[in-house]
Amino acid sequence: MDYVIYADEVILSDPVRKSGNGDSHKKGHPGFTPQPGAAPSVSRRFQILLAVLCVTLICSLCVLGTIGVLYASKSNQFESLKTQHSNLSERLTEHLKACKRCAEGWVFNEKKCYFFSTDLMKWTQSRDRCVSMGGHLVIITSQEEQTFLDSHTEGMTHWIGLNDMKTEGRWLWVDNTPLSQTGVEFWFKRSDGKSEPDNWSEQDSSGEDCAALGNGYIGTHVWLDASCEICSTHLGVAYNKFAMDNGLAPQRNIDSAIVIMDF
């Protein structure tokens, strides 16, 4: 009987059993025995979670990169459209201004209004008529302007605001600016080497002191000097002189004048 009690006491006095808190199952305890497969299972789950996070991060970066590229492309397109819109707005504004500024029958070009008259007058009469209309005979200052005038004259000779009536050979525009200061000249050059102005005086003893655009034979992209007294009842020296030099029938007049109004 005593043996049983002793044995029972031995069991109850066991320090591990007395604790009652399962310390014998803790890792590191002399009595701990790891359960097979427990640690590897936790590690495996952690690895899978880490892999999922990495894949998610990579996908997110790819999506952000794609969005960035699309945004840059759309930004460039927006800037391009913005520039086109600005240019179109400026052009539209200029045309609207032209509609308001140029009266019917006038042609707008580069902030100026032009009137291509078909009335047949002497140079001085044309000059005065232009002034009465609020403008002046055209003063040509660039190749662009000469090309524009040529495209609207339909091969008809037109007086321009250039003359050397005061001093032979010293050509002045109607605003008294010397031709030499405008930087451009478009005098006609013949195939025989002779060029305008030549002050031809066989029909008008006073010579040729006024300038006009060319004619239907040589084109209106060039200038000719002509008698300032030519009018609708006279044969035009500009036509006559070229016709005789080239065996062509003479034609009538300096046809019209170009009035210009600046803004």
The answer to whether 213 touches 150, Cβ cutoff 8 Å, is yes
Kindly list the distances between the CA atom of residue 154 and the CA atoms of 10, 57, 157, in Å, as whole numbers in the listed order: 134, 73, 9
pLDDT tens by residue, 168-208? 999 999 999 999 999 899 999 988 878 899 888 887 888 89
Q: For residue range 227-237, what is the model confidence (pLDDT) as tens digits?
A: 998 762 222 22
| Dist. CA 242–CA 77, nearest whole Å | 57
Position 130 scores a pLDDT of 86
Higher pLDDT, 17 or 135: 135
Q: What are the domain boundaries of the chain?
A: 43-101, 107-262
Higher pLDDT, residue 51 or 241: 51
pLDDT exceeds 70 at position 50: yes
Task: Tell me: pLDDT of 46 over 80.
Answer: yes
What CATH superfamily classification does 107-262 receive? Mannose-Binding Protein A, subunit A (3.10.100.10)
| Per-residue pLDDT tens over the stretch 126-180 | 888 888 888 899 999 999 999 999 998 888 888 999 999 999 999 999 999 999 9
Close Cβ partners of 222 (under 8 Å, ≥ 6 residues apart) = 186, 187, 188, 189, 196, 213, 214
* β-bridge pairing 256-262 and 158-163: parallel
CA dist 151 and 195 (Å) reads 23
pLDDT over 90 at 6, yes or no:
no
What's the whole-model pTM score? 0.56
Provide the mean pLDDT of the chain: 75
